[in-house]
Every structure is written in structure tokens, then in C-alpha cells.
Chain A
Amino acid sequence: MFKSPTKWRIMKNLIFKEIDELIIGSLGIVCFLSFFIGAVVTIQTALNLNNPIIPKYLIGFTARQSIILEFSPTFISIIMAGRMGSYITSSIGTMRVTEQIDALEVMGINSLNYLVFPKLIAAITYPFLITISMFIGIFGGYIAGVYSGYLSSEEFIFGLQDSFIPYHITYAFIKTAVFGFLLATIPSFYGYYMQGGALEVGKASTQSFVWTSVAIILVNYILTQILLS
């Protein structure tokens, strides 16, 4: 991938284009999902904590832990395996089917560098998306919890701050960075090395989604064991 790299003038534009498509383009769906999942997590917690001796601020605590530790890094990444992964596999796969990759190679361009490297660099900014997801998720939880009358604003904010371990943020971002790498590489592999026609592009997209999701779940387990045990 790093042999005969594309000229920086071109590569710079490709990287910005991929950041726009993969990261900025995903903001809408990520914000929507995060807000409502954050809200549902809060409501579910509130409805299940009906013992009067359990303090209500634990609702805020649970929302924070669920969103920061698992929902934003892991489940948003699985959703992104569908959105980003399908986009990457189908766009590269279509280029393969329509001889656009052959055209690059015949021109003497390192097609792997030209097509995959910008996506890999764009994936470095993936934690930015997850940071937004965390904020929006907690905000959704706050709105649902406070405005539905399950707890007060002060209780929710106290719960958010209670027993806060900064290392959990580090853990979440280590996971996110690894997932970002998986989200860029596995779909690129399936797109770049696919063979056949239009039907195979669809099959490759499905396969890439399945294997990226499997990889995220497995790596999530392994990283959790390593980093939190």
C-alpha cells in the first residue's frame, strides 16, 4: 500500500473527501441514534429501579456508564459497519467491476494506495464521531430522564459525576481507534479483492458487514479483558 504513494496534492483532497463522506456524512444518523438510545437507556433504568432505597442519581450513573463504555464505542461501530463498511466495499467493488481499478493500474498508479490509504487516514478521525455520540447520548438521557419526571436535573448531573473513572474514557477511545481501523480495512479488503459483477458487489457488501461486525464484537471482548480485567 505504501509503495509509489500518490502525490500529496491529490492525496490531501482524497483524505478530506473521505473524512467528509465517512465521518461528517455519518453525523446525522449517529446523532439521531445516540439521542434516542441514550433516552431509552435512561427510561429503562428509571423504570427498573423502583426500589425506594436505591438513589435516583444512579439513573444518570447507569446512562453514563452504558453510553461511554459500550453503546457509543461498540454499538455505534456495528451500525457504522453497515453505513461506512457498505459504502467502502461497494464503492471500491464497483470500481473493480467497471475496470476503474485496472485503469488506475495501467496508468501506473498504486491503486491500493490511492483507494485505501485515504480511508485509513479518515478512520483516524473516527473517535471524533464517537465523542459526539457520547455527548448526544448522555444529552438524550438527560432530556428523557428529567423532562419525563423520573429524576431531577441535579440528580442526573450528580449521577454523571459519581464514581467517575477517567481511565474508562481512555479505554473507550482505545476501543474506538481499533474499531475505526477495522471499519476501514475489512470493507476495503472485500471491495478491492472482489471478483465478478454487480451481484457480487452486493454479496461483498453483505460479507463485509458481517465480518466487520464479528471482528468488532470479538475485538471488543478481547480489549475489555485486556484493558479492564
Chain B
Amino acid sequence: MPDWWTYQPRDLLMFSPETYYRLFELHNAELWPAQVLAFIGGLAILAMLVRRPPWAGRTISTLLAAAWACVGFAYFFERYATINLAAPYFGWTFLVQALLILAGGVLAGRLRFDKPITAAGKAGFALFFFGLLVQPLMGPLLVRLWPGLELFAIAPDPTTMATLGILLAADRIRWELLVIPVLWCGVTGATLATMGAPEALLMPAAGLLAILLAAYRSLTGDSAES
């Protein structure tokens, strides 16, 4: 497609908003009751971010890697791929992120939550809280249906939001783990904006906030280890 740059995002959107949101209803119905496990896992992470036990790093990393792998396989490969030709590429990207978290957080133990949380880290905690408990409610609040709830570890956006929060709340910023979540914020923001979704700016704003906070922590030495 040598003239690809002449296309607008709207020209490339290959499904309707109704079909896109209906996807989450079908996905939730297919996966039920996995949502309960996902929510319990999210609450466990929330508790670990607050209490910060010495084993929190590897445990949170394991749960987070599992969340990205689940979204990559179950959502992108099995669900989103039925209406979007690009979905398998997104799925592989989510699996790469799962492997990165597994390698860095579980195997290398580089994602730690041992020290008291910093001020910027508290903003990360707020992002995680938002992704786990508030963002799923946005669909119904925007007059979509409850069966189409987008949940942490089930749907990509709250999973990404929660991940940004976890990474910001860690003892040190791990930039290599931030890249894919921030990129996804841009991709999903573009998709939602093209559909005219009212929440289109949410994920890009979260991605930008995460970059700014991470840069602040890196540049100012706002690290719990320092």
C-alpha cells in the first residue's frame, strides 16, 4: 500500500463501535467465572502494594505476567482477531510484555516493592486502583451494558492501566517494562478516538502521566532504594 500515509485512522477502522463493545460481552460470557479469579488476583496485588512484603516483587510479577498472557491469548488471539486483522500482532506484543515481566520481575527479581512507597509511587498506586476498580465501571456509566465490563487481566485497557500503576509504585522505575504499556495506550486511544468514544483520551493521558512520573522519579532520584 504505497499511499498508506494518505489514509486517515477512520479509513482503517474495520469494525463498528457496536461490534467492538459487543466483543467484551461475548468475551466475558466465554470466560466466566475467570473474572472472579482475575478480580481476586487484582485485590491481592492491591494488598501487596499497600503492605509491601518482601516477597511482593515476584508474586506481583507472576500475577501481572499471567494477566498480560491471558489478555494476549484469550482476548487478542481468540476474540479481537475475529474483527481486527491487526489483533494477532497486538496479541504477540502482549505476550512479549508477559515474558519481559516474567524475566525481569520473577526470574531476575528486578521489580521490587520492599521500601516505603514514594510520593510519585502513590500516584502509581492510584492508577492501579483506578484500573482495577474504577475503569471497569466506566462502560456502564457511559450507557454501555454491564455484561461488557472491561476488567483487569481480562481486557487490555484496565490491564495496561493497572500495569502502569504497578510499575510506578515499584521501588525503582523499570523503563523496559513501561514501553509496551505506553505504546498500547496510544494504540487503544487512537482506536477509541476513531470510534468517537468519549473515553478515548483516558489511556493516552494515563500513558503520558506514567512517562512523566517515571521520568520525574528517574531524574530526581525519587527511588525508594536511593
A and B interact: no
